[in-house]
């Protein structure tokens, strides 16, 4: 074979060799040591424990009943029942030890996140009731007229 063919070939072989050597040092010891449960065994055993230790940020509304039963009852029997408390109030881990943690957002943006009418085809047929921000009583906050925990009551 000609040199201009062989030379890149040697470079390629050299590179593959270097990668194989580097692999011995870089791949963690617990990689692929747990049988064939994972495709090709390409999985690091320690990663399972790492995810088990991963701190959960949300509590779910059952955790709120103890102290905020009125809010939970209102929400459960409202059209907002599908919306989680922590969707509006933020992840509650650490609450109530740190009460300041959950700031209350009273802006229109909180609600428009879900209820803003989007200028897309079929948007008017979406299941989530949407409003056009600038045409829907824009001088006031939404919660001046809608209870966030029971929004159907439109006059509070
Ligand atoms: C062990 C009792 C307890 C539990 C459980 C609890 N809270 Fe609270 N929460 C409090 C207390 C005490 C306050 C401060 C007084 C108040 O505003 O009622 C508070 C205040 C709040 C506030 C108002 C914060 C502010 O800035 O004024 C929100 C929002 C809130 N809690 C949401 C939740 C949510 C959501 C959950 C469930 C994930 C929850 N809480 C679970 C005791 C609790
Ligand atoms: C759709 C958004 C939304 C959801 C869902 C929601 N909240 Fe609220 N929450 C608000 C807003 C906005 C306020 C402020 C209301 C005000 O100032 O009139 C508030 C106020 C509060 C307060 C303080 C005033 C009060 O009513 O006691 C507490 C406590 C609270 N929420 C707890 C909860 C709990 C517990 C849940 C779940 C069962 C929940 N919230 C679900 C938006 C929400
Ligand atoms: C995470 C998404 C989400 C957020 C945030 C949210 N909503 Fe809703 N809202 C819904 C869903 C889902 C429904 C029930 C389905 C529907 O009727 O479109 C609903 C229903 C409503 C309704 C119709 C009630 C009825 O019975 O006709 C009103 C009014 C409303 N929300 C107001 C608000 C207000 C005010 C806020 C802010 C405090 C808010 N929403 C925040 C998802 C959301
Ligand atoms: C000044 C009072 C007032 C304010 C502020 C207000 N609304 Fe309303 N809203 C109403 C009334 C009254 C109705 C029912 C009659 C109607 O549809 O006009 C309503 C209806 C709705 C509906 C149901 C629409 C439908 O087609 O059934 C949604 C969703 C809604 N509002 C969301 C919001 C959101 C989100 C905000 C804040 C960005 C907001 N509203 C601010 C008074 C208000």
Cα(31)–Cα(93) distance, rounded to whole angstroms? 33
* 111 C-beta neighbours (distance < 10 Å), count: 20
Cα(133)–Cα(139) distance, rounded to whole angstroms? 10
Residues lining ligand 4, Cβ inside 6 A: 108, 111-112, 115, 129, 131, 136-137, 140, 142, 144-146, 154
The closest of 86, 25, 91, 26 to 57, measured between CA atoms, is: 91
Cα(2)–Cα(34) distance, rounded to whole angstroms? 47
| pLDDT tens profile 31-68 | 887 666 666 777 888 888 999 999 889 999 999 999 99
The yes-or-no verdict on residue 2 having pLDDT over 70 is yes
The yes-or-no verdict on residue 122 having pLDDT over 70 is yes
The closest of 59, 117, 67 to 87, measured between CA atoms, is: 59
pLDDT band with cut points at 50, 70 and 90 for residue 138: confident
pLDDT, position 150: 94
Percent of the chain having pLDDT more than 90? 59
Half-sphere exposure of 66 (CA within 13 A, CB side): 7
pLDDT, position 44: 86
The yes-or-no verdict on residue 156 having pLDDT over 70 is no
Task: Tell whether ligand 3 has an atom less than 6 A from the beta carbon of residue 89.
Answer: no
């Amino acid at each position: 074979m000609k040199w201009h063919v062989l030379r890149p070939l040697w470079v390629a072989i050299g590179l593959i060799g270097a990668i194989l050597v580097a692999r011995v040092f870089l791949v963690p010891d617990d990689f692929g040591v747990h049988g064939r449960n994972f495709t090709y065994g390409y999985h690091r055993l320690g990663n399972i424990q790492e995810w088990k230790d991963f701190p959960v940020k949300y509590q779910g509304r059952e955790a709120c009943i103890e102290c905020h039963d009125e809010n939970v009852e209102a929400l459960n029997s409202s059209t907002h029942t599908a919306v989680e408390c922590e969707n509006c109030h933020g992840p509650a881990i650490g609450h109530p030890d740190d009460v300041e943690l959950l700031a209350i957002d009273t802006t229109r943006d909180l609600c428009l996140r879900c209820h803003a009418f989007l200028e897309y085809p079929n948007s008017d047929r979406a299941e989530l009731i949407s409003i056009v921000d600038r045409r829907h009583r824009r001088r006031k906050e939404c919660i001046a007229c809608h209870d966030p925990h029971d929004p159907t009551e439109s006059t509070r």
